[in-house]
A and B are shown apart, each in its own frame.
Chain A
């Protein structure tokens, strides 16, 4: 067990899991920071775009990349609609909006289950094969998740920190009234945040689907991990989400290889409660 290939395997697994969780968690956290809404349907959005990918790719026989682009665009469009017709009506009402997102989760998952059944599906992977790296075998699917995930995260970082729209998002997160006084349109920012967060979840589905199965319940895992990551990293903080995401990803990968995945999940819950006890505002010393 204690050989170099094993550790390389654990490390790549950790990065893959981290990228997967971060892409969903960052969307969840942006919506939470800007609109003060816990969108429980975020995992469902991931599931929906994976399903969309499956329909386009397998049932209609389109190219994987083309259907991926369509799925991301479709999901972003869904984000606009959801924001405009559902979440905007309950803006600023914490419990009602939360309850409504729970209702969406139930309704959408039930509808997908009715249409496609509970049997797991899979898309044919366009990235077959694996290569040897110091004795560890790493599949191309994992490389795609790592490269694509890290690129997207870096892109999001540049967007949030260096573009005008990203700065506006951070301004609204830090001080809503002051941002309004400086002429930032809150409704536009909310729409933008929904587009970004839905598109990132769809991108996660595009990257991860070749190596995972697709069924109506796959949204729960990233949702749950995303919630833990947000508590770890602090609400509304993109950097915190990154840090929390890598911590949870690596804990799962390490605990999953030495014990088993269930213990890893319980372990991350214990960490969550411990963090709440000693550092309730998250791990990072200040907001970024």
Chain B
């Protein structure tokens, strides 16, 4: 049989929730799945050479849209999640159009400021978003029974589908054009690639999955407030991606798993977590820009060299 990493991932995702059993670790499992979707969506942007400091805001747009549609109109959360992702795309295109015509610095600044503004609007617009106290009683998607195990399976499926779509994108013609833009933007433009359009497209795809993850989060926890979608969440998502490694598709997955589980152990002190994460981020950038993934490659290369050396002797 042909080796397929996605088959292995599918088997793991199908088996893991049943093996865990303990509700607390099932919660960690679900959060890990959602974090992986968020980090993997950031990877799309990284591949075009962009960094979004406002992905929590898109997550928030998805969460609030889906939650409000379900609560106010009674729309099925299944459609609501898609609508949440869709609205994220619309907002990202409106924001990306002015910001992406310029160099990457402007994009970082605008997304950073946008996250702050989203937080302010969500906090102030009480009649609509519930203000600082947030939205309560967001229903589960119809058809998913109560309890964490069922939702863990749902998160598995969502994660698997998202990863397959994102992986296909990365390996497609569009994905290669994204890489070309990141590596040599000027040359890409010279061969006739509309770089701004492709960047906008990447931003749209990335925001869709962020919005989707946000909506899935809202329907899981049942309660959202503006503090769930601060700039820190955006930065944490970047940390998952970067510490895991930007060198390979598995990077964000590895990073999210390692750091989410790690943060469960150090959660005892909130600020300690940010010290650990921040230091990790700086250290990875300074000493191993490829992240955890490249560490594995480094060691395998090292072993290979040793083998070659011994063979030569």
Binding site for B on A (CB under 8 A): 32, 36, 38, 86, 89-90, 94-100, 102-111, 113-114, 216, 220, 224, 227-228, 230-231, 235, 262, 265-266, 269, 272-273, 276-277, 280
Give me the interface of B with A, judged by CB distance under 8 Å.
Answer: 46, 49, 51, 53, 95, 97-99, 101-102, 104-106, 108-110, 112-114, 116-117, 120-121, 123-124, 231, 235, 238-239, 242, 269-283, 285-286, 289
B102 (CB) vs chain A CBs: closest residue = A280
Q: Tell me, rounded to whole Å, the shortest Cβ–Cβ distance linking A267 to chain B.
A: 10
Question: How many A-B pairs fall under 8 Å by CB?
Answer: 127
Given A114-B269, A266-B117, A266-B121, A280-B101 contact (CB < 8 Å): yes
Task: Determine chain B's interface SS by DSSP, over half rule.
Answer: helix
Known interface pairs A95-B51, A103-B279. Does A110 touch B109 (Cβ–Cβ under 8 Å)?
no
Q: How far is the CB of B119 from chain A (nearest CB, A)?
A: 10
Q: Which residues of A contact B270 (CB under 8 A)?
A: 113
Residues of B within 8 A of A111 (CB): 271, 275
**Interface pair B109/A108, CB less than 8 Å apart:** no
Cross-chain contact A265 with B99 (CB below 8 angstroms): no
A110 cross-chain contacts in B, Cβ below 8 A: 271-276, 278
Shortest beta-carbon distance from A143 to chain B in Å: 31
**Most interface-central of A32, A89, A97, A106 (chain B CB within 10 A):** A106
In the assembled complex, 17 residue pairs joining A and B whose CB atoms fall closer than 8 Å, in A order, are A36-B105, A99-B281, A100-B285, A102-B235, A102-B238, A103-B277, A103-B285, A106-B235, A108-B278, A114-B275, A220-B116, A228-B113, A262-B120, A266-B121, A269-B114, A276-B101, A280-B101
A94–B286 CB distance below 8 A:
no
* Cβ A100 vs Cβ B282 within 8 A: yes
**Given A106-B275, A266-B121, A276-B99: A99 and B109 within 8 A (CB)?**
no
The answer to whether A231 and B109 touch across the interface, beta carbons within 8 angstroms, is: yes
User: Would A90 and B116 count as touching, CB distance under 8 A?
Assistant: no
Task: Kindly provide the distance from the CB of B195 to the nearest chain A CB, expressed in whole angstroms.
Answer: 15
Give Cα distance in the complex from A2 to B165, angstroms. Answer: 59
Q: Given the interface contacts A38-B108, A99-B51, A230-B109, does A269 sit within 8 Å of B280 by beta carbon?
A: no
Whole-angstrom distance between the Cβ of A94 and the nearest chain B Cβ: 6
Asked whether, in the complex, the Cβ of B117 is within 8 Å of the Cβ of A265, the reply is yes
Q: Which of chain A's residues have a CB closer than 8 A to the CB of B278?
A: 102-110
Contacts of B279 in A (CB 8 A): 103, 107
CB within 8 Å for A276 and B102 given contacts A104-B282, A110-B273, A269-B113: yes
Q: Write the nearest CB–CB distance from A149 to chain B, whole angstroms.
A: 24
Whether B109 and A227, one on each chain, are in contact in the complex, defined by CB atoms closer than 8 angstroms, is: yes
Residue of B nearest to A227 (CB): B109
Q: Which residues of chain B are within 8 angstroms of A102 by Cβ–Cβ distance?
A: 53, 235, 238, 278, 281
Residues of B within 8 A of A224 (CB): 112-113, 116
Contacts of A96 in B (CB 8 A): 285, 289
Determine if B108 and A98 form an interchain contact, defined as CB atoms under 8 angstroms apart: yes
Chain B residues with CB under 8 Å of A103's CB are: 239, 277-283, 285
Q: How far is the CA of A96 from the CA of B288 in the complex (A)?
A: 11
With most chain A CB atoms within 10 A of its CB, the pick from B112, B231, B270, B276 is B112
A93 to chain B: closest residue by CB: B289
- Further pairs besides A96-B289, A224-B116, A277-B98: 17, Cβ < 8 Å: A38-B108, A97-B285, A98-B51, A99-B281, A100-B281, A104-B282, A106-B275, A110-B278, A111-B275, A113-B271, A113-B274, A220-B116, A227-B109, A266-B121, A269-B117, A272-B110, A276-B110
CB distance B110 to A90 under 8 Å? no
User: With a CB–CB cut-off of 8 A, which chain A residues contact B285?
Assistant: 90, 96-97, 99-100, 103
With A100-B282, A106-B281, A262-B120 as given contacts, are A273 and B98 in contact (CB-CB < 8 Å)? yes
Instruction: Write the nearest CB–CB distance from B287 to chain A, whole angstroms.
Output: 9
- On whether the beta carbons of B104 and A95 are closer than 8 Å, the reply is yes
How far is it, in angstroms, between the C-alpha of A265 and the C-alpha of B119 when the chains are bound?
11
Determine how close the nearest CB of chain B comes to the CB of A255; give it in whole angstroms: 13
Identify B105's interface contact among A38, A105, A220, A277, CB under 8 A.
A38
In the complex, chain B residues whose CB is within 8 Å of the CB of A95: 46, 49, 51, 104
Verify A106–B51 contact, CB threshold 8 A.
no
* A15 CA to B105 CA, complexed, in Å: 28
Q: CB-CB < 8 A to B120: which residues of A?
A: 262, 265-266
